[in-house]
Amino acid sequence: MSTPLWTPSSERIQSTRMYHFMQAMNQQHNLKMGHYDDLYRWSVDQHETFWNSFWDYSGIIASNKGDQVLLDGDKMPGATWFPQARLNFAENLLHYRDDRPALVFRGETDYRVELSYAQLYSRVAQLASALRKQGITKGDRVSGFMPNIADTVIAMLATTSIGAVWSSCSPDFGINGVIDRFGQVKPKVMFTADGYRYNGKVLSSIERVSEIADLLHSVEKIIVVPYMDENPDISPLKNAVLLQDFVDTEATEITFEQVAFDDPLYVMYSSGTTGVPKCIVHSVGGTLIQHLKEHMLHTDLDRDDTLFYYTTCGWMMWNWLVSGLAVGCKVVLFDGSPFAPRPTVLWDIAEQEGISVFGTSAKYIAALEKAEVIPREKYELSRLKAVLSTGSPLAHESFDYVYRDIKADLQLSSISGGTDIVSCFALGCPIRPVWAGELQCRGLGMAVEIFDDNGQAVQGEKGELVCVKPFPCMPIGFWDDEDESKFRSAYFDLYDNIWAHGDYGEITHHDGVIIHGRSDAVLNPGGVRIGTAEIYRQVEKVDEVLESLCIGQPWDNDVRVVLFVRLKEGFTLDDALTKKIKDTIRASTTPRHVPAKVIQVSDIPRTISGKIVELAVRKVVLGEAVKNKDALANPEALELFKDLPELQC
C-alpha cells in the first residue's frame, strides 16, 4: 500500500506524551530531535541516558534511585540496571489515593464493581496487613488461581507491597498444568475464587483447588474469594479461609517494603506445550519502568484515559494491563467469553465505560469480522483513540476491518513481545502513521534488529528478531536455574551476548516491524524460509475459513507445507474450496507458499491464552509425544491430527 491507513494530525502529535518527552529531551540534552526515528536512535545509542532520563520523567517513586544507571552494561545476560535503587512496585501503582475510578470489573452478566483509588488503597492495606500476620515476608511466593476480577489485582498489590513475589494462573488451567507451574515456585499462600463464569456456564473451582492443594505441600493457607456465591462452602479445602474472614479490617496504611531494582516481582510461565513450563522471573524495577514507558509514551495514557485489555490472569497482558494504575487511569477488567452473552458484549462495555484504549487479540478481531460485527454503526466511540492487538500477527485484512468497521480515526497498534520480557519489543507510536500489516515501531530503548542467516543486521529482509543491547525488563533468570544454563540456552545460544527472541520478522522501509511467526515454526520447503503468518494472512481472506494452522511435514527428502482449516458451519472442504484457498495464497505470495495438502479439521488446538500450537500439532503428525497437554485450552483437538490418511500420500 502506497499510503498509510491512518496519520495522526499535527494537533494530535503535539498533544501526546511522546512528543512532550522528545521536546523535554531536546532541552535537557541540547538535542534537535524532530521525529520518532531521531528519538528511537538516541534511545538505543545512548541507552543509559535514555533510561535514566525516563525514570525522572515518569516520576517513579523510590526511597533511593542512586547515581549509577548500568553496571556491567557490556554483558548479556549480566547487566544490572540501577544497582543502588530501592523502591516498591505496589507503591508506584497506588500513589494516587483519590476518588477517581481505579478499577471497574465487568463480566458476562450485568454485574459491575467499581473501586476508586482511595478504596483500592484501603482494600490493599487490609489484605497486606493480613498477609504479614500470616508470616509472608520479602521473597516469599504468593499464587493466584483466579479469574480476572478486582480481588486478583488487590491480592497482587498486597503481595508486592510486602516485597513478596506474585504468580498467577487462570482458573481454566487443568490440575497438572497448575502443579507444573506453582509446584516449581512453592507458594506459601494461594488465592482462589469459588468459581468463575465462561460462555454462560458457572464453573466451580473448589474441587480442583482441593486436588491441587493435596499436591502443593508448600501452601500454608488458601484464601477463597466469594465470586459465584456470597457464602461458598469451603469445607473440602484444608487450611482455607474466606477472604472476608482473613483481611485485617483495622489496617488503614501500607508499609511498602523497599526492595532492589532487580529483586523478583513476578514469576511467569512459558506455554509449556513441549515440556514443563519455564518459570520466568521478572524484576520489580525492570517491569515498572518498562510498563511506564509503554503506557505513557507508546500508548499515550494519562489520568483521563480508560484502559481495557481482554485477557486472563494467566497471560502477561494481565500484568501489563494492571500497571495502568501507575499512570492513574481507569482500568477495566473483564472475565468471561468475549462473545457471551452476545458477540458485541465488549463493545457494549467500551461505550458504557468510555474506553479510550481497547486491547485484544488478533484472533478476536478476525472473529469479529467473520461474525460481521460493525461497532461503528451501533456504538458511540468518541473516546476511543487506540486499539491494541497482540497474541499473533494481525492480518492486513484485520487492519482494514478496524478502520472500516470500528473507527477511522484511531491508532491501531499491533504489538509484539511476550511473557519472556513481560512487555514489547515492537509496538505502537502515537506520532507515527499506521501502515497495513506493520507494527508501528521498535520500542524506545530496545535495540531490536533483524539478523540474516549470517548474523548480519538487515532491513527489508526476513530473519531472526534480536536485541543487541541490555534492557531493564530482561528477566532476572529462570526459577531454580542457579547456573543459568536453561536461561542462556533459551535466549543466548544462537548468538553470543545477544538476545534472540525466537520470532521471525522483518524491519520495513517505513522502519516498522512485521512478525512472520515463530522462528521455530518457520517452514522450509526447498530451502526457502517461510513464516507461517505469511500463509495465515492469505487464508484470512477466504470467507469460508474460520481459522487455520500450518506446519511443515518432512516429505520426499524435502519439506512440504500442510495447511489445516476449520471452516464456518455449513461448509465442507471440496475440490473447489481447496482450489480457492490455494489460488488465494498463490496470488499474493509465491508458489512455495502454496500448501501441498489442505485438510479440514473440526477444531484447532490452542494454549489457554489463545495461541495456536503449531509445534504440538507437528509433533502429533510426526508421531511424537506432546508432553504437556494441560497447557492447552482444548487438548482433545490434538487427536484430530493423529494418523490422518491424507498425510500418507
Q: Which of 340-349, 443-452, 519-528 is predicted with the least confidence, judged by mean pLDDT? A: 519-528
Mean pLDDT along residues 26-51: 98
* Banded pLDDT at 275 (limits 50, 70, 90): low
Q: Which of 228-237, 486-495, 531-540 is predicted with the least confidence, judged by mean pLDDT? A: 531-540
Q: Are 94 and 124 in contact (CB under 8 A)?
A: yes
- Would the pLDDT of 214 be above 80? yes
| β-pairing verdict for 221-225 and 240-242 | parallel
- Would the pLDDT of 271 be above 90? no
One of 3.20.20.450, 3.40.50.11060, 3.30.300.30, 3.90.1150.10 is the CATH number of 522-648, namely 3.30.300.30
3-state DSSP call for residue 332? strand
* Banded pLDDT at 262 (limits 50, 70, 90): very high
pLDDT at site 272: 66
pLDDT at site 174: 83
Mean pLDDT along residues 52-57: 98
Q: How many CB atoms lie within 10 A of CB 7?
A: 12
* Per-residue DSSP letter, 439: B
Cα–Cα distance for residue pair 617/641, rounded to 1 Å? 7
One of 3.40.50.980, 3.90.1150.10, 3.30.70.580, 3.40.50.1820 is the CATH number of 115-260, namely 3.40.50.980
**What does the domain layout of the chain look like in residue ranges?**
115-260, 522-648
Q: Is the pTM of this model over 0.75?
A: yes
- DSSP annotation string for 115-165: EEHHHHHHHHHHHHHHHHHHT--TT-EEEEE--SSHHHHHHHHHHHHTT-E
Kind and range of the H or E element at 331? strand 330-335
pLDDT at site 344: 96
pLDDT at site 525: 82
Question: Over the stretch 130-153, which tens digit does the pLDDT of each residue have?
Answer: 999 999 999 999 999 999 999 999
Q: Residue type at 396?
A: H
Mean pLDDT along residues 81-95: 98
Domains 115-260 and 522-648 in one fold: no
| β-pairing verdict for 86-87 and 448-451 | unpaired
Question: Over the stretch 463-517, which tens digit does the pLDDT of each residue have?
Answer: 999 999 999 999 999 999 999 999 999 999 999 999 999 999 999 999 999 998 8
- DSSP annotation string for 617-636: HHHHHTT---S-GGGBS-GG
CA atoms within 13 A on the CB side of 611: 23
